[in-house]
Amino acid sequence: MAFRVSAGDVSGFKFLLFLTIMYGLMSILVYYILHMKLIQPLGFDAPVDRFSEARAIEHVRVLSKDGRQEGRPGLKQAALYIKEQLEMIKERADPNFRIEIEETVINGSFNMVFLGHSISLGYRNHLNIVMRISSADSQDTDPSVLINGHFDSPLGSPGAGDCGSCVASILEISRLIVDSGWIPPRPIIFLFNGAEELFLLV
């Protein structure tokens, strides 16, 4: 008696083989993820030429202490804190750096359509803070890299994630550049804007 394999048996076998291979690959992936070595976060005592999670988290803690919503005192306090940190970085900078810090106060209005409705918004005295780090011989017209974060926070939130962590990372990166003595080949502009949550005003 001859043993015969139907076309249905072959396709079923191929499907089971496919499932077995997929299960094996997924098992290897899960094992790798569970046992991979993660980078150890660095504390306050980390060398100055390394990014320190603890220093960045301290910025987040300070920034998320008071609400940073439009019209609240915490927004102005956040701007003062950021400016103070940037000034401290500038004071420590080597003479081979050219560091410029500027504040701009923005006023204006605009109309936009949102969810099918026309909305008009007016705003006054919104603050942006800009720091430009470049080599001492850089020109104002040199192409630059922009790194941006906003220091206001959404209503009802301390804003640690949106966007205190962005601002903290930018502060720590700017500190790292200056303290490590690394002079970027192109100017880097760090922009801290103060009214992103209200329909990206500034």
Token code pair at residue 175: 């500190």
- pLDDT tens digits along 168-202: 999 999 999 999 999 999 999 999 998 877 665 55
Looking at the structure, tell me whether residues 61 and 2 fall in a common domain.
Answer: no
Domain count of the fold of the chain? 2
Residue 43 lies in a domain: no
Higher-pLDDT residue of 149, 126: 149
Percent of the chain having pLDDT more than 90? 56
Structure letter (DSSP) for residue 182 = P
Domain span including residue 126: 53-193
Looking at the structure, tell me whether residues 101 and 12 fall in a common domain.
Answer: no
Least confident residue range of 94-103, 128-137, 192-201: 192-201
The pTM of the full predicted model, rounded to 2 decimals, is: 0.76
Q: 134 pLDDT band (50/70/90 cuts)?
A: very high
Looking at the structure, tell me whether residues 78 and 156 fall in a common domain.
Answer: yes
- pLDDT tens digits along 101-125: 999 998 888 888 888 989 888 778 8
Residues in CB range of 163: below 8 A, 6 or more apart: 149, 150, 151, 153, 196
Residue 198 lies in a domain: no
Looking at the structure, tell me whether residues 34 and 63 fall in a common domain.
Answer: no
Helix, strand, coil proportions of the chain in percent (round to 5)? Answer: 40, 25, 35
Q: How many CB atoms lie within 10 A of CB 35?
A: 7
Residue 151 lies in a domain: yes
Looking at the structure, tell me whether residues 173 and 119 fall in a common domain.
Answer: yes
Q: Give the pLDDT confidence score for residue 8 in this predicted structure.
A: 63
Q: Counting runs of H as helices and runs of E as strands, what totals does the chain give?
A: 4, 4
Helix (H, G, I), strand (E, B) or coil at 153: coil
Q: Give the pLDDT confidence score for residue 3 in this predicted structure.
A: 58
